[in-house]
Amino acid sequence: MTASMFLDAFWVLTTRFVMRAANLVVFMLLARSLDPESFGWYGYVMASALMLSVIFDAGLRQSGGLHLGRDGADRRRILANILALWLVLGLAGSAAMALVMRWGGMADATVLLLAAATLAPTLLVRMGQGTFLGLGRMRELNQSELASRALLLVGTALAWALGVLTIEVAVALLFLSFAGAACLLLWMVRDLLSMPRIDLDVMRELLATGLAFAGGIIAMILLGRIGIWIVNAMLGTAEVGAYFAVMRLSEMIAEVATAVGVVIFSHGVRNADRDAAALATVRTARCVTAVMACVGVLAILFAGPIIRLTVGAAYVEAAGA
């Protein structure tokens, strides 16, 4: 790992740990304020929003980063086309989110509409972060990641302190946190912004490259998250709460590997020497895999106490999972 890659990895990891600390506090407040069924619905909304944002992103986060990072790229034109694609994909994704909520059995119209509205800003943040990856603007990538977590933490803590933390309020705060992060992202790329436009040649390249990335990314996310839909369909939302609790704790551990992968991609798209980039990737992946294996063993050994401390005794029965 080169010095610059190590430094970027350090800052991304630091950001991710701060994010996860914020998520953990939100997680603990929600688990103790909502009944298992409501907590399950919150987990259903979060997991569905992530899965659908990855699906409707269609690999454009990576594709945008790759094209924007090339020498001589017309960055304003590329970003304008990405925004145009977001307008279409965001609308389709929000409709899909509403259908997923109805399919899951959500009868509360307020929660359903808020969940559907959450998809569009979530997708914009994901697609827009390709700009930072392609241009190596890791500090702004970190800030865009932190923004939604910080807003969610502040809002959830206030709602908890005021005694008004319900499923409706929790989902509304989720929407507002991603909407705020999306606004911040647009402000950070204001130097490259122009009106959304459709250039078929640019869109064709973006989508073709994106779809090459999309298959593996979607499969990875679905394999880790689709259990939420299956558990809800077969066992109900109360059981989804326990499943969500265990899943979120596992994700906090896996976040280390994800963070390093983001840095590797950002450096790789800007490295003209593909062989050197591939070699650095292999070396880094080997080290990260060894560390994650050790952390995973510790998590298995202390699953019961970890779950009791974070989400409460009501979910300890899920520790064996």
pLDDT over 90 (residue 118): yes
**DSSP H stretches of helix in 58-74:** 60-68
More confident residue, 36 or 53: 53
CA dihedral in degrees (303, 305, 310, 314; nearest 10)? 90
Q: How confident is the model at residue 160 (pLDDT cuts 50, 70, 90)?
A: very high
More confident residue, 146 or 166: 166
Full-model pTM: 0.75
Q: How confident is the model at residue 126 (pLDDT cuts 50, 70, 90)?
A: very high
pLDDT tens profile 192-221: 877 777 878 888 888 888 888 888 878 877
Whether 319 and 307 have beta carbons less than 8 Å apart is answered as yes
pLDDT over 70 (residue 265): no
Average pLDDT over residues 254-271: 57
- The amino acid occupying position 273 is D
pLDDT over 60 (residue 305): yes
- The amino acid occupying position 37 is E
DSSP for 105-125? T---HHHHHHHHHHHHHHHHH
The separation between CA 85 and the C-alpha centre of its own chain, rounded to angstroms, equals: 19
pLDDT over 60 (residue 270): no
Q: State the pLDDT at residue 87.
A: 93
pLDDT over 70 (residue 288): no
pLDDT tens profile 232-253: 777 666 676 666 666 666 666 6
Q: Calculate what percentage of the chain has a pLDDT beyond 90.
A: 25
Q: Tell me how far CA of residue 167 lies from CA of 116, 130, 263, in angstroms.
A: 15, 32, 35
Q: State the pLDDT at residue 200.
A: 84
pLDDT over 60 (residue 287): yes
Q: Which two three-digit tokens encode residue 228?
A: 């939420």
C-alpha closest to that of 44 among 174, 220, 178: 174
